[in-house]
Structure 1
Amino acid sequence: MVATGCAQQSGVTVGSDQAGRANTASGSMYPAPANPNSPDFSQYKTYSWSSQITNSQNSVFFLNDLLFKTMVRDAVEHEMAAKGYTYQPTGGDLVVNFRSFDQPTEITSNDNLGTGYWDSTEPYAYAGERKVQLDKGSILLQMIDRKKGVEIWHGYASGLTDGNVFDKNKDKVYVAVGQIFKEYNHRADKL
Structure 2
Amino acid sequence: MNKLIAWIVFLSLALGGCATKVSTSFDRQADFSRYKTFCWLQGCEFTFTGPSYMNDSAVVNNLKNAIIKEMAEKGFTYDDQSPDLLLDFHVTVENRQTNVYRFEEDRFLQLDPIDQSDVYYFLEGTLIMDIADRETGQMIWRSSASRYLELNPEMTERNLRKGIGIVLKKFPPKER
Judge same fold: TM > 0.5, yes or no: yes
Contact 1:46 1:94 in 2 (8 A): yes
Contact 1:47 1:94 in 2 (8 A): yes
Distance in 2 (CA, whole Å) between partners of 1:19 and 1:9 is: 30
Distance in 1 (CA, whole Å) between partners of 2:17 and 2:157 is: 17
Counterpart of 1:153 in structure 2 is 141
Secondary structure (helix, strand or coil) at the match of 2:160 reads helix
How far is the alpha carbon of 1:78 from its aligned partner? 0.8
Q: Does 1:11 align with 2:2?
A: no
Identity over the aligned pairs, expressed in percent?
24
AA of the residue aligned to 2:162 = V
How far is the alpha carbon of 1:154 from its aligned partner? 1.4
Which protein has the larger Cα radius of gyration, Structure 1 or Structure 2? 2
How far is the alpha carbon of 1:89 from its aligned partner? 0.9
Counterpart of 1:182 in structure 2 is 169
- 1:31-51 per-residue CA deviation (whole Å, 9 max, x = no partner) reads xxxxxxx11111111111122
Choose the corresponding residue for 1:80, options 71, 74, 78: 71
Distance in 2 (CA, whole Å) between partners of 1:53 and 1:137 is: 25
How far is the alpha carbon of 1:87 from its aligned partner? 1.2
1:89-104 matches, within 5 Å, as: 89-103=80-94
AA of the residue aligned to 1:14 = V
Contact 1:161 1:167 in 2 (8 A): no
Distance in 2 (CA, whole Å) between partners of 1:96 and 1:79 is: 13
Contact 1:144 1:153 in 2 (8 A): yes
- 1:103-145 per-residue CA deviation (whole Å, 9 max, x = no partner) reads 38xxxxxxxxxxxxxxxxxxxxxxxxxxxxxx93111111100
Change in CA separation of 1:102 and 1:166 when aligned onto 2, cut-off 3 Å: farther
Secondary structure (helix, strand or coil) at the match of 1:155 reads strand
Choose the corresponding residue for 2:32, options 41, 47, 55: 41
1:122-133 matches, within 5 Å, as: none
Consecutive unaligned residues in structure 2, runs of 5 or more: 1-15, 96-122
Tell me the TM-score normalised to structure 2 length. 0.62
Contact 2:49 2:91 in 1 (8 A): no
Secondary structure (helix, strand or coil) at the match of 2:75 reads coil
- 1:131-180 per-residue CA deviation (whole Å, 9 max, x = no partner) reads xxxx93111111100011011001122115214x6653443321111122
Distance in 2 (CA, whole Å) between partners of 1:17 and 1:142 is: 10
Q: Which has the higher strand share?
A: 2
Q: Does 1:140 align with 2:128?
A: yes
How far is the alpha carbon of 1:14 from its aligned partner? 2.1
- 1:30-73 per-residue CA deviation (whole Å, 9 max, x = no partner) reads xxxxxxxx111111111111227725xx5454643332222221
